[in-house]
Structure 1
Amino acid sequence: MGYRDKIISIEQALSLVKSNDMVVTGLGAAEAQLFMNNLHTIAGRVTNVTITNCLPTSNGEFLKPEYKNSFNVDGWFFSPPLRKAHLNGNISYIPNHLHLAGYKRLFYVKPNIYVGAATPPDKHGFMSLSVSNTYERQMIDAADIVILEINSNYPRTFGDVEIHYTEVDYLVEGDYLVPTIPDVVSGEKDMVIGKYISNMINDGDCIQLGIGGIPNAVANYLKYKKDLGVHTEMLTSKMVDLVNLGVINGRKKTLHKGKLVCAFALGNKALYDFIDNNPSVIMMAGKYVNDPYVIGQEDNMVSINTTIEVDLAGQCASESIGHVQFSGAGGQADTAIGAQNSKNGRSIIALYSTAFVKNPQTGEKEEISKIVPTLKPGAIVSLSRMDVDYVVTEYGIASLRGTNMKERTKRLINIAHPKFREEITRQAHELMFI
């Protein structure tokens, strides 16, 4: 049997879904776009189908409230479609450290169907899972039925992503473009914070970066560094820019010298063109890439993450605004702890000192401090106070490693916005932090 004997239509693929099924799809751009965008068409014949996803890029009709009796969603990481659909009441977040997301999910439930994106088979019959292997291969191995949407627009990558067509039950042909995300333009605050962080990165360091204004600003200031390496859950467009400038080459790395190690890639078309058939990029399983033990073996590891709110103990609420789920923990704890296990490693948490939010009484937007005596009621602690190393705002750097409550309180107040420092200090005295 050749691989073409396994090709079915998207309608036939959807016909395999039964009521009460558990369906898992790929992370980010590895999501099965045809499947998810047509899932709503079977709503009339199924109930209680659960989709498990992570950072979804599609905004499928099935997320609309009228389909909530047919479909539930369990998400490892919320993106805008899930934030909006969360109000429907059929969307739930799965607390996780990214390197254990697949393992712990399988401890609880086995998927009936895995569906995700892949490249077409090569002359040897091997496909590439392309832009993500965070948990995908784990789910493929565990699922009763495996469906891959094969698409020649997807980059062929190397690492732990190869899968032979004989290991797959069905193939659906697609020709959609790989989902991209826009390059965020860094603002004035981003650039100030980015410069502080770039000064903490030395030639020869190995970095982990995310996306957004602050990480992009950091990347802009790294253009003058030398011999940087990459060991990151997410490979970004800005990292490719640094490779093209000769800044990133991996020559000083401890593990996988000369290679860019990642669990998934998400960015612009230039990123996907760069990773296509590129042996310098290895996409390994998330359970390996994000394992703090593995990260700790990489000397001079620098982890750079962002957060929403930090209290005077150093606790970071990075995934929720109060009790409302906003994104996810992702690999923040994985990389922060791993970097601090590294020889000469550093973990950096960055945030603006303030934010503008709507006052519930007046309805007007007002500026509030993001460094606070205590977190908002119900806020989720994504990174514990024991695991915070450096915190950076546009007003400076607070080193919290090894500090007591009095010391870290004072250091965090020093990088809060000046107009809030007096009030934060007053509350800190009341709470007996100082």
Structure 2
Amino acid sequence: MTQALYAARLMSAAEAVALIPSGARVAMGLGVSQPPAILKALADRAEARQVEGLRLYYLLSTAIAGDTVLRYDLMDRIQPNSLFYGKVERALEVQARADGRRVVELIPTGFQQTPRLLTHEIGVDTLLTTVSPMDAEGYFSFGTNTDYNQPVSRTAKRVILEVNPHMPRVFGDCTIHVSQVTALVEHAVPLLQVPKAAPQPADTLIGGIIAGLIEDGSTLQMGIGALPDAVCAALHDHRDLGIHTEMMTPGLVALMKAGVVNGARKSLHPGKAVFAFCMGDQDTYDHLHENPDLEGHPVSYTNDPAVIARNDRMISVNATLEIDLHGACCSEYLNGSQFTGSGGQLDFVRGAYRSDGGRSIIACHATAAKGTVSRIVPRLAGPVTTPRNDTHIVVTEYGRVDLKGLGSSDRAMALIGLAHPDFRDGLQQAASQQGLI
């Protein structure tokens, strides 16, 4: 029966995207799950002006989308609605400004809210994403990307899947049955890989400070990049760590392989590493495949602060771009423009602090632009990602401070102490002008 359903839904990419009408509200998979064959066919259709007025919703686009549906010449037929900016959106913005246009809309949101936003407020009617091959019972795994793919698949009128044998089969609440699928496109292609960033000396210093704040038996949430990798590298002498994270990274996988992470003391999903999506190298994807120690779940679950808080000794580690003298953080705006997005930072900041024995850590280098700009600033240059009320522990290469319980004056002085020495006098003057000291 399942094989018959599969055969009935199997078609070419061109045939599949022909099912998408003009004016459709389309959700595209995040990151690794963006389906190359389907997106190219949709771009070809838009280029031929066979479809128009498409509204495309997504987080974290990659070159897969940038070379197809997010091409600048298609912006009059495909309207990008990004919930998390990246390199592709920033490049489109540069082109659009030169032409006096605006082509990308940012929809501000926390990551945990994304499934409801897409399914209810926006009412997405089409899902395009990549899945693993079907199993004997007729189920596909969303593999690297359960996140919003699984919730949207439950409500969308059209679910168009690219079946890729390179997509790992992952356990957890991360499957879809063939009977729920509109169209299937088979396409075997290696998954997109994210190269590992080389750590700077400041990363190693910060990683060591953060590792000293993490007790054996803690549960971790980490982002991607050189700084979180440095934290993971400094944890190899720890024991019985667990994982509950939005993003599974190579650094976390390395801890699993080393036996440092085993989930033995987890109070929620003991023995299981829980995540919403994954980006990394091939070794990371291989580790996910049919691994009973890992579970993929929708981001509405992984990033729910109430769920996060059920993990005792929850440790959240996130990076920021700026911290003001009150302790508020902007983690998404740079040089007067949107740079990334809110993501799940505030979800985990709040969830970790609610956890029994938990700690929320915000980390950054003390300076940027080769030491010419301080990341500790008098006032933020962009929107607040983490409010001052929520910021817990802040770490730079100059140390750490726990802001909880500190008054405004003590906060300002403590944060100035985390700044590069070249900027401390100026920050003290600014604090005095603001009446903080």
Residue number among 74, 99, 107 corresponding to 2:112 in the alignment: 99
CA contact (8 A) 2:14 2:42 kept: no
CA contact (8 A) 1:305 1:348 kept: yes
Alpha-carbon distance in 2 for matches of 1:411, 1:202: 24
Task: Describe how 1:42-191 pairs up with structure 2 within 5 A.
Answer: 42-43=45-46, 44-57=49-62, 58=64, 59-87=66-94, 88=96, 89-191=102-204
Residue number among 180, 185, 195 corresponding to 2:208 in the alignment: 195
Alpha-carbon distance in 1 for matches of 2:290, 2:328: 42
**SS of 2:154 mapped into structure 1:** helix
Deviations 1:315-344 (A, max 9, x none): 100011154111111110000100000011
Alpha-carbon distance in 1 for matches of 2:201, 2:119: 44
**SS of 2:389 mapped into structure 1:** helix
- Deviation (angstroms), 1:298: 0.7
Amino acid at match of 1:410: M
CA contact (8 A) 2:38 2:185 kept: no
- Deviation (angstroms), 1:429: 0.3
CA contact (8 A) 1:86 1:92 kept: no
Find out whether 1:257 has 2:270 as its counterpart. yes
The corresponding residue for 1:241 is: 254
The corresponding residue for 1:279 is: 292
- Deviation (angstroms), 1:125: 1.2
The corresponding residue for 1:27 is: 30
Residue number among 397, 401, 405 corresponding to 1:394 in the alignment: 397
Alpha-carbon distance in 2 for matches of 1:48, 1:228: 48
Deviant stretches of 4+, over 4 Å: none
CA contact (8 A) 1:316 1:385 kept: yes
Amino acid at match of 1:287: S
Alpha-carbon distance in 2 for matches of 1:139, 1:201: 36
Deviations 1:183-217 (A, max 9, x none): 11111110011111111111111110111111010
Deviations 1:7-47 (A, max 9, x none): 11011112122221111111111122222233321222222
Find out whether 1:380 has 2:387 as its counterpart. no
Alpha-carbon distance in 2 for matches of 1:205, 1:414: 28
**SS of 2:42 mapped into structure 1:** helix
Alpha-carbon distance in 1 for matches of 2:242, 2:413: 34
Deviations 1:385-414 (A, max 9, x none): 011001111111021012111110000000
Query: Which stretch has the larger CA shift, 15-24 or 211-220?
Result: 15-24
CA contact (8 A) 1:36 1:60 kept: no
The corresponding residue for 2:225 is: 212
The corresponding residue for 1:362 is: none
- Deviation (angstroms), 1:252: 0.7
Amino acid at match of 1:34: A
Unaligned segments of structure 1, at least 5 residues? 358-365
Task: Describe how 1:284-433 pairs up with structure 2 within 5 A.
Answer: 284-321=297-334, 323-356=336-369, 367-376=372-381, 379-433=382-436
The corresponding residue for 1:15 is: 18
The corresponding residue for 1:227 is: 240
- Deviation (angstroms), 1:2: 3.1
Unaligned segments of structure 2, at least 5 residues? 97-101
TM-align CA RMSD: 1.3
Alpha-carbon distance in 1 for matches of 2:103, 2:150: 27
Alpha-carbon distance in 2 for matches of 1:158, 1:55: 23
Alpha-carbon distance in 2 for matches of 1:322, 1:403: 30
The corresponding residue for 1:360 is: none
- Deviation (angstroms), 1:77: 1.4
Alpha-carbon distance in 2 for matches of 1:162, 1:14: 22
The corresponding residue for 2:99 is: none
Identity level (%) = 34
Alpha-carbon distance in 2 for matches of 1:48, 1:71: 6
Alpha-carbon distance in 1 for matches of 2:69, 2:30: 18
Alpha-carbon distance in 1 for matches of 2:220, 2:78: 39
Amino acid at match of 1:2: L
**SS of 1:297 mapped into structure 2:** coil
Alpha-carbon distance in 2 for matches of 1:307, 1:168: 39
Residue number among 270, 280, 291 corresponding to 1:267 in the alignment: 280
Deviations 1:333-377 (A, max 9, x none): 0001000000110000001111118xxxxxxxx70111011112x
